[in-house]
Amino acid sequence: MRMYDVIAKKRDGHELSSEEIYGFIEGYVDGSIPDYQASALLMAIFFNGMNEREILDLTTAMMKSGDQVDLSPIEGIKVDKHSTGGVGDKTSLIVAPIVAACGVKVAKMSGRGLGHTGGTVDKLESIPGFRTDLNEEEFFDVVRKTGISVIGQSGNLTPADKKLYALRDVTATVESIPLIASSIMSKKLAAGSDCIVLDVKTGSGAFMKTVESSVKLAETMVKLGENAGRRTCALITDMDVPLGKNIGNSLEVIEAVDTLKGKGPEDLTHEALYLAANMLELAGKGDEDTCMKLAQSVIDDLSALNCLKQMVKAQHGDVSVIEDTDNFIKAKYSFEVKADRAGYIAHMDTEGCGISSMMLGAGRETLDSKIDMAAGIIIEKKTGDRVEKGDVLATLYADDEKLFDKAEQKYKESIIMSDETVKRNPLLYAKVSRDGIKYF
């Protein structure tokens, strides 16, 4: 196989054979195909797409590029959940303990923050001492003991995705359905759970900006999951506004704990319950309504919060910050962003809000950047809210006062005001399962 011919074939809109796709993945992982040729192929895929068979081959080749976890030594059905990435999206921290408290095991491998979006592993590491680098035996033990464990991706899980994702990040080839679907599903399939719920974000803070493209991505991923024998469904949820109020690592853990105490913001609480209910439904706990009630009941009796505490303890984290979130180390400085005029918030460029939080130190500018765990934003006013001149739109938190100027500017640029009242977007748009698409 000549890589030049493979690139030219896709550039000219033709279908790649299985041999060519497997050859590309093998050659890229072993280093015989250089970044510049891989980049060219990614761009050709970005423009010309792939058919179902090509996407299946790409996903399978990526999944087989490294280890595949066998979760069968853990008894019972294991469910997983994956978000395509958003701003203020701390649902995994809420959903996983809810599901575990309902008796379904969650053995989850999560990622770090990516671009303007946050990552569950970074958020959990804001808990002092919390270890996300458990080996397989420790990981299984924690799941057996507490019903739940969340760790970082193990060293050799889908190395093809690790290399390709980093390359896509710097070659403007992230927002492509075949590339996102194969990236996510190769990891989820390799991670071994029996059931997978995908949270496909849509809007200004998501990689897919329209509902139509999000549904298409969801259909592609659900097919890949079901073809591999895993019960899979996808929910299309809004990311045209940050989820909840808090953006930033320990700030998001604090909001997740509040939600598990029944005191979270309405949008976050509802979305978390709905995701958890769908995980429970796939695991055979009843229909969606029954599972919604079940999920609510473990918030009400605090057993979900208790599950989170048990996991934190089992992974060597300091439980006192979960018992009383005031024990989290606070940022040294805070700064209030105030409205320059009265009106209604018509739109929040959610990617911009995420970038503003990164500028405060909550995310990585480069692969080696160190995260400030206490940095971030607490939002006071969101899309649709009435604002008077001088009202606080948001409070910024950082350990370095000099960061506030640029972060404030970025945050303000991300808020569009209007004199007219504004209708909020729905929280949930659609559900995609093997039974088809259901729009809400």
Contacting residues toward ligand URA, per CB under 6 A:
84-85, 165, 174, 179-180, 183-184, 207
Nearer to ligand URA, 126 or 153 (CB): 153
Cα gap 139→230, rounded to integer Å: 21
Q: H/E element holding 67?
A: none
CB of 173 to ligand URA, least distance (A): 10
**Sheet of strand 386-387: strand arrangement:** 386-387, 343-348, 415-418
Between 207 and 328, name the residue whose CB sits nearer to ligand URA: 207
To ligand URA, the closest distance from the beta carbon of 306 in angstroms equals: 30
Q: Which is nearer to ligand URA, 69 or 127 (CB)?
A: 69
Give the shortest CB-181-to-ligand URA separation in angstroms: 8
Nearest Cα to 169, choosing from 360, 376, 25, 367? 367
112 is a catalytic site residue: no
> What's the sign of the alpha-carbon dihedral 159, 153, 67, 138?
positive
Is the distance from CB of 230 to CB of 71 less than 8 angstroms?
no
**How near is the Cβ of 219 to ligand URA at its closest, in Å?**
16
Please state the closest distance from residue 293 (CB atom) to ligand URA, in A.
Answer: 31
Q: Which of 230, 237, 251, 198 is nearest to 372 (CA)?
A: 251
Nearer to ligand URA, 83 or 310 (CB): 83
Kindly compute the dihedral angle of the four CA atoms of residues 96, 102, 107, 111, in this order, to the nearest 10 degrees. Answer: -10
Could you give phi then psi for residue 294, rounded to 5 degrees? Answer: -60, -45
Instruction: Give the residue from 127, 134, 87, 128 showing the smallest Cα distance to 110.
Output: 134
Catalytic residue among 57, 80, 122, 161: 161
Q: Which of 123, 163, 168, 381 is catalytic?
A: 168
Set 154, 183, 186, 250: catalytic member: 183
Report the C-alpha gap between 140 and 71 in whole angstroms: 8
As a whole number of angstroms, the distance between CA 259 and CA 322 comes to 12
Q: Which is nearer to ligand URA, 101 or 164 (CB)?
A: 164
User: Is residue 141 annotated as part of the catalytic site, yes or no?
Assistant: no
Distance in Å, CB of 166 to ligand URA, minimum: 11
53 in catalytic set:
no
Q: 152 vs 264, which CB is nearer to ligand URA?
A: 152
Q: Is residue 433 flagged as an active site residue? A: no
Q: What are phi and psi of 80, to 5 degrees?
A: -130, 165
DSSP state of 14: P
Among residues 90, 187, 201, 410, the one annotated as catalytic is 187
Among all residues, which ones are annotated catalytic? Answer: 82, 161, 168, 183, 187
